[in-house]
């Protein structure tokens, strides 16, 4: 039961009949969804509703967990990423991810950024990677704060800075899509605000899908919002419409705080 969002922009990710089981636990149930390009799409819903599991299907992070079974299609730019001829490494290269807890590597800020692009052969050491570090950190709004200590460890930054470093690290691989799994739930309000305004800037160049517990966050940042309940997609619409005039009783109960 859902009303599909009226799309005014081209579709970036088309999800069709997606199911996911952890062993016998049917965690994601038959999701059909079209995620528009260069927009922020928020996934909300109570804990255990399958929104994070769903998010991890989009860059095949669930492949790594034992006893997980997935069927259905996730079509990105016209290609199902679960097709046999698709390499999950190539998928994750194009679809970046930012996690709930900031997780910089125990390396320098500089190396945090350049690690993956160097291994992917996207840049060479020296001037190219210097430029990449500056560009990525600037996009993540972190350049001015860290430009004088690029070689100190990434873990020496504050929590909010670490999370922006993680975003810069994801951007450095030049993905088209960035998935964010509750990116600010571990941060203070000021850092959260910085992350949110960063997301709005990044929307220009990236398709962003964010899982959040925080309905205000979805309201403030997302163009479209999807409400998940018990593994099902209950409602998916423009954020404004979903919050002002939810089409489903379940959605209304959730956003008015009757449960959560």
The residues that touch another protein, with contacts defined as CB under 8 A, are 59, 61, 64, 66, 76-79, 81, 83, 85-87, 89-94, 96-97, 99, 101, 103-107, 115-116, 119-121, 166, 169-170, 173
How far apart are alpha carbons 56 and 97 in whole angstroms? 9
Cα–Cα dist 93/175, whole Å: 6
Residues 100, 185: contact at Cβ < 8 Å?
yes
Shortest gap between Cβ of 99 and another protein (angstroms)?
6
Give the C-alpha separation, 231 to 180, whole Å: 19
| Sheet with 224-229, edge to edge strand ranges | 95-98, 177-181, 207-211, 40-44, 224-229, 232-238
SS3 65: coil
Q: Give the DSSP letter of residue 61.
A: G
N residues, the chain: 260
* Helices (H) then strands (E): counts for the chain: 10, 10
Could you tell me the smallest distance in angstroms from the CB atom of residue 239 to another protein?
26
- State how beta strands 207-211 and 177-181 pair: parallel
Least spacing, CB of residue 66 vs another protein, in Å = 6
Helix boundaries (H) for 44-177: 51-58, 88-94, 109-120, 127-139, 143-146, 159-172
Closer residue to another protein (CB): 166 or 226: 166
Shorter beta-carbon distance to another protein: residue 55 or 255: 55
Task: Give the residue with the Cβ less far from another protein, 85 or 148.
Answer: 85
**Least distance CB 34 / another protein (angstroms):** 17
Rounded to whole angstroms, the Cα distance separating 189 from 235 reads: 28
Nearer to another protein, 179 or 199 (CB): 179
21/115 with CB nearer another protein = 115
Nearest distance, CB of residue 142 and another protein, angstroms:
17
- Nearest CB to another protein, comparing residues 99 and 193: 99
Cβ atoms of 43 and 234 within 8 Å: the answer is no
Nearest to 59 by CA among 223, 209, 236, 202: 209
State the nearest-atom distance from the C-beta of 237 to another protein, in Å.
28
Tell the smallest beta-carbon distance from residue 210 to another protein (Å): 15
DSSP β-bridge partners for residue 74: 15
Give the residue with the Cβ less far from another protein, 12 or 219. Answer: 12
């Amino acid at each position: 039961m859902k009303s599909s969002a009226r799309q005014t922009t081209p579709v970036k990710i088309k999800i069709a009949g997606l199911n996911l089981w952890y062993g016998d636990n049917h965690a994601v149930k038959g999701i059909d969804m079209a995620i528009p390009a260069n927009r922020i799409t928020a996934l909300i819903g109570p804990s255990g509703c399958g929104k994070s599991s769903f998010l991890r299907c989009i860059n095949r992070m669930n492949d790594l967990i034992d006893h997980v079974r997935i069927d259905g299609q996730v079509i990105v730019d016209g290609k199902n990423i679960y097709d046999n001829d698709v390499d999950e490494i190539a998928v994750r290269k194009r679809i970046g991810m930012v996690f709930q807890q900031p997780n910089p590597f125990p390396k320098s800020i500089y190396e945090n950024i350049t690690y993956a692009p160097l291994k992917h052969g996207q840049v060479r050491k020296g001037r190219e990677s210097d430029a990449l570090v500056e560009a990525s950190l600037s996009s993540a709004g972190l350049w001015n704060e860290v430009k004088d200590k690029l070689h100190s460890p990434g873990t020496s930054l504050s929590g909010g800075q670490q999370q922006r470093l993680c975003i810069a690290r994801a951007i450095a691989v030049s993905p088209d899509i960035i998935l964010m799994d509750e990116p600010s739930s571990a941060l203070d309000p000021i850092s959260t605000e910085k992350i949110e305004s960063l997301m709005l800037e990044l929307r220009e160049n990236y398709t962003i899908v964010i899982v959040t517990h925080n309905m205000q966050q979805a309201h403030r940042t997302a163009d479209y919002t999807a409400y998940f309940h018990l593994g099902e997609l209950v409602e998916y619409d423009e954020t404004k419409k979903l919050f002002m005039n939810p089409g489903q009783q379940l959605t209304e109960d959730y956003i008015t705080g009757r449960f959560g």
